[in-house]
Amino acid sequence: MDNPAPSRLPEPPAGGIVLAVVGLGLIGGSMAIDLKRRGYARQVIGVDRDRLHAATALRIGLVDDLAELDEAMARADVILLAVPVNVTISLLPTVLDRIGEHQVVTDVASTKQTLVETVRHHPHRRRFVTSHPMAGTEFSGPWAALSGLFDSKAAIICDRDDSAPDAVGSIERLYAALNMRMVHMEAERHDMHVAYVSHISHVISFALAITVLDKEKDEKAIFDLASGGFSSTARLAKSSADMWTPIFQQNSENVVNVLDAYIRKLEEFRRHIAEKAEKPLHDLISDANRIRRVLNG
Amino acid sequence: MDNPAPSRLPEPPAGGIVLAVVGLGLIGGSMAIDLKRRGYARQVIGVDRDRLHAATALRIGLVDDLAELDEAMARADVILLAVPVNVTISLLPTVLDRIGEHQVVTDVASTKQTLVETVRHHPHRRRFVTSHPMAGTEFSGPWAALSGLFDSKAAIICDRDDSAPDAVGSIERLYAALNMRMVHMEAERHDMHVAYVSHISHVISFALAITVLDKEKDEKAIFDLASGGFSSTARLAKSSADMWTPIFQQNSENVVNVLDAYIRKLEEFRRHIAEKAEKPLHDLISDANRIRRVLNG
């Protein structure tokens, strides 16, 4: 991983920029709130094909105005794509076709390799900065948006050298306004890393939820006993199918690799548990306890 | 599951009882704090073979006094065993050998079948009430004890008919003082249920921690990116090896059964992810999303 000294950031335009947010869900909505509140944007224009989401975002104050994509692009300095990764991939070439030489587009997708391949030879590639703010919750839609979601988390910017320096500066300033720590990384390594620290946790949680829900068909009151341990392991299983299906498709090879390593480790546990083997079990758990030095709290 | 109307509780002795807590860790310590504070106990005597834990518990005010087990048993009305399940199994027959006809012993172990088998024919079996307060954290030792840990959680009492009614009343009063909701269940069903709603979550979390820590040997900065999702799934991997090794040994058959169902579900995810199969993945995740109606928040 490459973590150079922070670039010298260009001065923000007086009064802030005009920001178009395409996709008014948890991520887009949460970014919109703090980017306006903290002065990065003087105006936020929302774009969402879902009429209910769009109307809600306006009503609860996530955005100042609503527009179609064309109109929003005509008015905005920075265009933020906060839609599922498959939609980002289909939308980005069109956005780049129309982008002006002083405009910048960024995205927040959780997988990067296919996305950067899609626009590698686009003549306006350098107006695009691909980024991934590492924060979220298991909830979705404009109702889930909240201020402070990104504070003190990591924002990854991939393949920075493929973007124009002023475009990178603009997006670094955006994440600085969100109080995020910048991390620079190649798209390929990004996708491998997030398979380990994010995507696998979601597979684990989805599979746990189904396993226990299936059992509940016979044992009605099983959840009456679920305590904090189960809740924290199964929490991510609430996450949106529309968001996660394309992530697993896009990052298929990496997620399968991690899953294979994970299933092997589970089978090692299974063998020792079946044999009631005290020392191997104690050793495995002590090995897992090393996570204490990594996780806060 | 059997949830009868609550028994009529006997009146507490004026001024509270004398409570002996054997094992001054997270669970014993947390129970000691609130049982004293809320008037269930007028005095709490601590017993712990670990001198550091014992001295700490006294110093930070979890207990009023320290004693050896013999002396504590001579003085206490209720004896609470809050030690790992293997220690509970080896200790309980000795405690029952010496118990007086007005004394009561309970335990808080996470598995029950072997424990109740061990004392099934003991002449003082009816002075023993086996219980399991469904609460905890991933931390351990007297330093981890905290007030309010059990509030509004479920307390399971197993095989109530094998205990004397006055003994059951005493232990129900204890859990009522902790603001817990009483659930009654046979030991065998208890062990199956907790395999689903607690033990499997711990196996999952231990295996995840090791998988990611092993990867970190090559990828030093991998945890720099870990966000809330990973933390919540891996949190339980901090849990004590001394506590969890005997749980997995005691509940081996149930945990292996759940693990097998869980690994099958993971392999279903793996197959669809490898094939980038949109509809089956979307269906699986939507199926997992049913957990929203079960988990709070």
Least confident of A37-41, A92-96, B137-141, B170-174: B137-141
Work out the pLDDT band at B6, boundaries 50, 70, 90: very low
Q: For the stretch B21-58, what's the b/e string if a residue is b when 16 or more beta carbons lie within 10 angstroms of its beta carbon?
A: bbbbbbbbbbbbbbbbeeebbebbbbbbeeeebbebbb
Locate the chain A residue with the closest alpha carbon to B226: A197
Q: Could you state, in order of their start, the residue ranges of all structural domains in chain A? A: 17-185, 190-293
Which A-chain residues 232-251 have CB contacts (< 8 A) with chain B? 232-242, 244-246, 248-249
Candidates B137, B256, B286; nearest CB to A241: B286
Looking at the complex, report in whole angstroms how far the Cα of residue A85 sits from the nearest Cα belonging to chain B.
Answer: 13
Angle at A221 between CA A215 and CA A227, to 5 degrees: 90
In terms of Cα–Cα distance, which of B189, B165, B157 is closest to B3?
B157
- Kindly report the CATH class assigned to A17-185: alpha beta
Nearest to A237 among B230, B258, B288 (CB): B288
pLDDT, position B60:
97
Sign of CA dihedral B187, B190, B195, B201: negative
Q: Which residues in chain A are closer than 8 Å to B213, comparing Cβ atoms?
A: 287-288, 290-291, 294
Tell me the nearest-neighbour CA distance from B113 into chain A, angstroms.
15
Kindly state which CATH superfamily the domain A190-293 is placed in: 6-phosphogluconate dehydrogenase C-terminal like domain (1.10.3660.10)
Mutation test of the interface with chain B: which of A225, A235, A250, choosing the one with the most B Cβ atoms within 10 A?
A225
The residue-averaged pLDDT of B265-286 equals 98
Which residues in B125-148 are b (16+ Cβ under 10 Å) and which e?
A: ebbbbbbbbbbbbbbbbbebbeee
CA A229, CA A182: separation in Å to the nearest integer? 32
* Chain B residues within an 8 Å CB radius of A259: 266, 269-270, 273
Grouping H, G, I as helix, E, B as strand and the rest as coil, residue B156 is strand
Torsion angles phi and psi, residue A158, rounded to 5: -100, 145
Closest to A103 measured CA to CA, from A133, A134, A73? A73
| Integer Cα distance of B235 and A91 in angstroms | 37
**How confident is the model over B63-101, as pLDDT tens digits?**
999 999 999 999 999 999 999 999 999 999 999 999 999
Nearest CA in chain A to B250: A276
- Contact yes or no for B263 and A256 at CB 8 A: no
- Is the per-residue pLDDT at B289 higher than 90? yes
Structure token pair of residue B262:
């869980």
What is the per-residue pLDDT across B10-29, written as a single tens digit (0 to 9) for each? 556 678 999 999 999 999 99
Q: According to the model, what pLDDT value does residue A38 have?
A: 95
Residue (of A65, A43, A221, A53) closest to A143 by Cα position: A53
Identify the bridge partners of residue B131 per DSSP, sorted by sequence position.
Answer: B157
Q: For position B124, what pLDDT does the model report?
A: 98
CA B10, B13, B17: angle at the middle one, nearest 5?
115
- Residue A130 DSSP SS3: strand
What strand order describes the sheet that includes B128-133? B65-66, B41-47, B17-22, B78-81, B104-107, B128-133, B154-158, B181-185
Tell me the mean pLDDT per 10 residues along chain A, length 297. 48 82 98 97 97 97 98 98 97 98 97 97 98 93 96 95 98 97 95 94 96 84 78 93 96 97 98 98 96 80
Shortest CA distance from B144: residue in chain A: A297
Contact call for residues B45 and B103 (beta carbons, < 8 A): no
pLDDT at B179 over 80: yes
Per-residue pLDDT at A3: 47
Q: What pLDDT is attached to residue B294?
A: 83
The DSSP call for residue B11 is P
- Closest C-alpha among B204, B193, B201, B206 to residue B254: B193
Q: What is the mean pLDDT of chain B?
A: 93
